[in-house]
Structure 1
C-alpha cells in the first residue's frame, strides 16, 4: 500500500516556464461570449445565483372575443328565461327572488361563455336581464288573468296586451323593482366571471 505524501509546505516554487507564458500572473479574464452573456444579464458560470430558479412562463391564453355570438346567446337565454320565469309566476301567483337571480345569471353566463371578455357583454346582459324579468312578469300576469277569466293564454297575452300591462302596473311594488336590480347584478357578475 502506498501513501501519498502531503504537498510541500513553505514558499511557492517559481515556475520555470512563467516567462514564456504571456498570461502568467494575470487574473482570469472572461472570454468574449462570457462578456456578452454578462452584459445581457445572464448569470456567469460559477457565479453565485441569488434567489430561486425561475420556471418558464406559459404563454397567455388567447382572448375570446366573439361579440356577435355572445349577443345572440344572451338574447336567446333572455327569451327562454323570461318564459320559465313567467311560468313560475303564473303557477305560484308570486314573484320569487331566486328565480330573478337565475334569470340574470343564465343570461350573463350565456353571454360570457359564448362571447368571451368583450366589455360590452356585461352591460348588454344587464339590460337583457331587466327586460327578461319584465317580460316574465307579464307572462305570469297573463297566465293568472287567463285562468281567472277562463280564456286561453294566447288570447290574453297577444290580443289584450294592454290589459296585461295595466295589471302589471297595478301590482308593481318596490319588491318588483328589487327583482330587476337582483337580476341585473346577477347578469353583470355572471358575464364577467364566465368571460374569463
Structure 2
C-alpha cells in the first residue's frame, strides 16, 4: 500500500507564493485589472468623477428654504442672547449671517443668487433677533410675558428699537450680511 501525497503548488525560488499569479511587470493585479496593473485604474465604461466644486448645481429652492429656516432659528437665538445680556453682540450677528449663508450654500450649491439671498435673509434675521431681544427686555421691565409683549405691544418694541438704533446697529446688519454672503460662497466650493 502506498500513500499518496497531495500535490503541492510549486513555489518559486524566492519564496513568494503569489509569484505565479503575477503579470509580466510583477504586479499581482496586472492580470485582473486593466490600466497597467494599477488597482485604482479606471475601469472600462466607468464615469470619471467630477472635480470638486465643478458643476455643483445643488437645489436652489431647497437652499433658500434651508436658509429661511436657519434664519428663523438663529434670529431666535440672537434675540435670546440680546435679551439675556441686554447688549447687541457683534459676534452673534456674524454667527447669524455665516450660518444662514453656509446652510444655503451647502444645500443649494454654487448658484450665484444664493449669496445675495443669504445676505438679505441674514439682514432680516439680525433685525428680528434684535426685536426679540428688545421684546424680552421690555417684557421684563413691564412684568409681563414676552409672548404678551409681542402680541399686544409690538408697536412699543419697534418704537424702542427705532429709538435705540445707532451706527453700531447698522454695522451689525452689514457684518451679518457680509458673513452670509461669504459663508454661502465658501460652502458652495
* TM-score normalised by length of structure 1: 0.69
Instruction: Return the match for 1:91 from 66, 78, 84.
Output: 84
Instruction: Return the match for 1:152 from 145, 151, 158.
Output: 145
Q: How many angstroms apart in 2 are the aligned matches of 1:186 and 1:116?
A: 17
Deviations 1:13-57 (A, max 9, x none): xxxxxxxxxxxxxxxxxxxxxxxxxxxxxxxxxxxxxxxxxxx99
Structure 2 residue 127 is matched with structure 1 residue 134: yes
Match of 1:121?
A: 114
Aligned-residue CA RMSD in angstroms? Answer: 1.5
Where do 5+ consecutive residues of structure 2 fail to align? 1-41, 43-47
* TM-score normalised by length of structure 2: 0.72
Structure 2 residue 153 is matched with structure 1 residue 167: no
Q: How many angstroms apart in 1 are the aligned matches of 2:134 and 2:175?
A: 20
Where do 5+ consecutive residues of structure 1 fail to align? 1-55
Q: How many angstroms apart in 1 are the aligned matches of 2:160 and 2:123?
A: 18
Deviations 1:91-141 (A, max 9, x none): 000000000000000000110000000111000000000000000000000
Q: How many angstroms apart in 1 are the aligned matches of 2:134 and 2:49?
A: 54
Instruction: Return the match for 2:173 from 170, 180, 195.
Output: 180
SS at match of 2:140: helix
Could you tell me how far 1:158 is from its partner in structure 2? 1.8
Equivalent pairs counted in the alignment come to 141
SS at match of 1:95: coil
Instruction: Return the match for 2:72 from 62, 73, 79.
Output: 79
SS at match of 1:126: helix
Deviations 1:75-100 (A, max 9, x none): 00000000000000000000000000
Superposition misfits of 4+ residues, deviation over 6 angstroms: none
